Amino acid sequence: MRARAPKRRVRTVDFAPVTKRRVGILTHHELESLAHDGAITAAVPFAPDQVQPTSLDLRLGPIAYRIRAGFLPRTEPVAERLRDLSLYTLDLERGAVLERGCIYLVPLQEALRLPADVSGRCNPKSSTGRIDLFTRVITDANERFDDVRAGYHGPLFLEIMPRSFPVRVQAGLRLNQIRLLRGRTRLDDAGTTAEHASTPLVTDARGGPIASSDLRIDGGFHLAVSLVPDPGSDIIGYRAKGYTGVVDLASIGTHDPLAFFEPLPATASRRLLLEPEEFYIFQSRERVRVPLHLAAEMHAYDVGIGELRTNYAGFFDAGFGHGGDGSLRGTPAVLEVRPHDVPFLIDDGQVLFRLEFHRTIETCERWYGGPGSSSNYARQGLTLAKYFRCLP
pLDDT of residue 127: 94
pLDDT of residue 71: 95
**Full set of structural domains in the chain with CATH:** 24-182 (2.70.40.10), 189-359 (2.70.40.10)
pLDDT of residue 340: 87
For the chain, which ranges sit under pLDDT 50?
A: 1-20
Burial 50-76 (b: 16+ CB within 10 A, else e): bbbbbbbbbbbbbebbbbeeebebeee
Q: DSSP assignment of 122-165, as one string?
A: EEE-HHHHTTTEEEEEEETT-SSSSEE-TT-EEEEEEEEEESSS
pLDDT of residue 311: 67
Tell me the per-residue pLDDT of 249-284, one tens digit each, with 9 for 90 and over. 999 999 999 999 999 999 999 999 999 999 999 999
pLDDT of residue 198: 94
Maximum C-alpha span of the chain: 89
pLDDT of residue 77: 96
User: What's the first-to-final CA gap in the chain, in angstroms?
Assistant: 82
Residue 178 and residue 137 in contact, taking contact as beta carbons nearer than 8 Å: yes
**What CA dihedral angle connects 313, 217, 362 and 288, to 10 degrees?**
50
Does the pTM exceed 0.95? no
Strand partners, 61: none
pLDDT of residue 18: 40
Rounded CA separation 75/77 (Å)? 7
**How remote is the C-alpha of 9 from its chain's centroid?**
38
Element housing 194 (H / E): helix 189-198
At 216 the three-state DSSP class reads strand
Element housing 189 (H / E): helix 189-198
